[in-house]
Amino acid sequence: VQLQASGGGLVQPGGSLRLSCEASGFSLDYYHIAWFRQAPGKEREGVSCISNTGGSIYYGDSEKGRFTISRDNAKNMVYLQMHGLKPEDTAVYYCVAMGFCTVDSALADFRFWGQGTQVTVSS
């Protein structure tokens, strides 16, 4: 049972990246999937969450209008398209299987975490 995030990298401010989260060993159909991020010296922050059917989507306040989460259950994949990246978006991004969909770390029911992918926004 594994979640693997990929697609991170170095991008200039204002640039775009698409992160992917691939599940192996199990079907994503039953899980709500969230993206959380953590920057050095900062609290873990919820970025976005998509329900198992894709019918409900949530974003953190700083991500609304810039990030888009989506999923393809047939491919066992979840994606995070990020536009208008800012230096403050720099962090390790993790995809997480959740008991229910939320971007609030304090309320979250984390089931299991994937390995993260580093996103660095810098000129």
**Residue 1 clears pLDDT 80, i.e. is over it:** no
Helix (H, G, I), strand (E, B) or coil at 94: strand
**Residue 6 clears pLDDT 90, i.e. is over it:** yes
Q: Give the amino acid at 7.
A: G
Query: pLDDT by residue (tens digit) across 19-69?
Result: 999 998 888 889 999 999 999 999 999 999 999 999 999 999 888 889 999
Query: pLDDT by residue (tens digit) across 88-101?
Result: 999 999 999 999 99
Task: For 29, list phi and psi in degrees, rounded to 5.
Answer: -50, -35
The answer to whether the CB of 10 falls within 8 A of the CB of 120 is: yes
**Residue 87 clears pLDDT 90, i.e. is over it:** yes
**Tokens standing for residue 59:** 């974003």
